[in-house]
A and B are shown apart, each in its own frame.
Chain A
Amino acid sequence: MSLTAGSRPDGTRPPAAVEEPTAAVAAATVKESVPRRAGKADKVPFRVRWRRDRALILMTLPVIVLLLIFNYVPLLGNVVAFQDYDPYTSSNGITAIFHSPWVGVEQFSRMFDDPLFWGAAKNTIVLFVLQLVLFFPIPIALALVINSVIRPRVRAVAQAIMYLPHFFSWVLVVTVFQQIFGGAGIIAQTLEDHGWSGFDLMTNASLFKYMVTAQAVWKDAGWGIIVFLAALAAVSTDLYEAAAMDGAGRWRRMWHVTLPALRPVVALLLVLRVGDALSVGFEQFLLQRYAVGAGASEVLDTYVWNVGIQHGDFSYAAAVGLAKGVIGVCLVLGANRVAHLLGEQGVYQK
Chain B
Amino acid sequence: MSLNTTLIRSLKAPARPVWEEPPSKAGLTAKGGFLLLCCLGVLGPLWIVIVTSLSPKPVIDRVGGLVVIPQGITFVNYKELLSGGQVSRAIMVSVGVTLCGTLFSMTVSVLAAYGLSRRGTLGHRFFLMTMMATMFFGAGLIPTYLLVQSLHLTDTYLSLILPSAVSIFNILVLRAFFMGISPELTESARIDGASDLRILLTIIMPLSRAVLAVISLFYAVGYWSAWFNASIYLTDQRMMPLQNVLIQLVQKNTEAPAGLQQAVATGHLSSLGLQMAVMVLALIPVGIASPFVQRHFKKGMLTGAIKG
Given contacts A41-B120, A169-B224, A325-B140, contact A59 B114 (CB under 8 A): yes
Docked CA distance A156–B136 (Å): 34
Whether A296 is near chain B, meaning CB under 8 Å from some CB there, is no
The minimal Cβ–Cβ distance linking A28 to chain B, given in whole angstroms, is: 17
Q: Mark contacts of B29-52 with chain A using CB atoms, 8 A cut-off: 1 yes-contact digit, 0 otherwise.
A: 001001100110111011011000
How many residues of A are in contact with the other chain, CB < 8 A? Answer: 127
Q: Which one of A66, A227, A230, A304 lies within 8 Å of B142 (CB-CB)? A: A304
List of B residues within 8 angstroms of A332 by Cβ:
136
CA distance A237 to B197 in the complex (A): 43
B122 engages A55 (CB within 8 Å)? no
In the complex, A290→B66 CA distance in Å?
23
In the complex, whether A179 has a CB less than 8 A from a CB of chain B is yes
Check: A14 CB closer than 8 A to any chain B CB.
yes
Decide yes or no: A245 and B196 within 8 Å by CB, A74-B139, A171-B243 being known contacts.
no
How distant is the Cα of A222 from the Cα of B40 in the complex, in angstroms? 13
Alpha-carbon gap, A145 to B30, bound state (A)? 10
A16 touches which of B136, B224, B286 (Cβ 8 Å): B136
Q: Are B298 and A321 in contact (CB under 8 A)?
A: no
Are B196 and A226 closer than 8 Å at their CB atoms? no
Any chain A CB within 8 A of the CB of B116? yes
Q: Which residues of B sit under 8 angstroms from A126, Cβ to Cβ?
A: none
Contact A37 B120 (CB under 8 A): yes
Q: Please indicate the chain B residues that have their CB under 8 angstroms from the CB of A16 in the complex.
A: 132, 135-136
Taking a contact as CB atoms under 8 Å apart, the answer to whether A162 and B306 are in contact is no
Considering the chains assembled together, what is the distance between the CA atoms of A170 and B243 in angstroms?
9
A14 touches B304 (CB 8 A): yes
B115 and A57 contact, CB distance less than 8 A:
yes
A160 at the binding interface (Cβ < 8 Å): yes
Decide if A66 touches B165 in the complex (CB within 8 Å): yes
CA distance A169 to B49 in the complex (A): 15
Chain A positions 96 through 137: 1 when the CB is less than 8 Å from some CB of chain B, otherwise 0: 000000000000000000000000000000000000000000
User: How far, in angstroms, from A80 to B142 measured CA to CA in the complex?
Assistant: 9
Complex-state Cα separation, A335 to B43, whole angstroms: 37
| Whole-angstrom distance between the Cβ of A108 and the nearest chain B Cβ | 14
A221's nearest neighbour on chain B, judged by CB, is B38
Contact at A2–B144, with CB atoms within 8 Å? yes
Cβ-closest chain A residue relative to B139: A74
- The answer to the question of B65 belonging to the interface, with a C-beta cut-off of 8 Å to chain A, is yes
Closest residue of chain B to A219, judged by CB? Answer: B42
CB of A49 within 8 A of chain B? yes
Query: For window 159-215 of chain B, which residues contact chain A by CB distance below 8 Å?
Result: 162-167, 169, 171-173, 176, 195-197, 200
A341 sits at the interface (CB 8 A): no
The segment from B11-19, B74-82, B85-93 found at the interface with A is B11-19
CB under 8 Å from chain A, chain B span 242-260: 243, 246-247, 250-252, 254
Q: Which residues of A contact B66 (CB under 8 A)?
A: 179-180, 185-186, 189
Residues from chain A with a CB closer than 8 A to the CB of B197 are 55, 59
Give the one of A14, A72, A165 with max B CB within 10 A. A14
CB distance from A324 to the nearest CB of B (A): 8
Interface 0/1 of A144-174, CB less than 8 Å to B: 0110111110101111111111011111101
Of all chain A residues, which has the CB nearest B295? Answer: A156
Select which of B49, B127, B143, B298 is within 8 A of A64 by beta carbon: B127
Is there an interface contact between A63 and B246, defined as CB atoms closer than 8 Å? Answer: no
A158 cross-chain contacts in B, Cβ below 8 A: 35, 38-39
B279 at the A interface (CB under 8 A): yes
* A308 lies within 8 A of B17 (CB): no
Which residue of chain A has the shortest Cβ distance to B171 in the bound complex? A63
30 contacts between A and B (CB under 8 A): A2-B228, A3-B228, A5-B169, A12-B304, A13-B135, A37-B119, A41-B120, A52-B121, A56-B121, A57-B121, A59-B112, A64-B130, A70-B163, A74-B140, A74-B147, A77-B143, A92-B150, A94-B146, A149-B31, A169-B282, A171-B247, A175-B251, A179-B48, A184-B254, A229-B298, A304-B142, A308-B142, A321-B142, A325-B137, A329-B137
- Chain B interface (Cβ within 8 Å of chain A)? 14, 16-17, 19-21, 31, 34-35, 38-39, 41-43, 45-46, 48-49, 63-66, 68, 107-109, 111-112, 114-116, 118-123, 125, 127-132, 134-147, 149-150, 162-167, 169, 171-173, 176, 195-197, 200, 217, 221-229, 232, 243, 246-247, 250-252, 254, 276, 279, 282-283, 286-287, 289-291, 294-295, 297-298, 301-302, 304-306, 308
A-B pairs with lowest CB-CB distance, top 5? A77-B143, A169-B225, A74-B139, A93-B150, A59-B115
A residues at B contact (CB < 8 Å): 1-3, 5-6, 10-20, 36-38, 41, 46, 49-50, 52-60, 62-64, 66-67, 69-78, 80, 87, 92-95, 142, 145-146, 148-152, 154, 156-165, 167-172, 174-176, 178-180, 184-186, 188-189, 192-193, 218, 222, 226-227, 229-231, 237, 240-241, 244-245, 249-250, 265, 282-283, 286-287, 290-291, 301, 304-305, 308-309, 314, 317-318, 321-322, 324-325, 328-329, 332
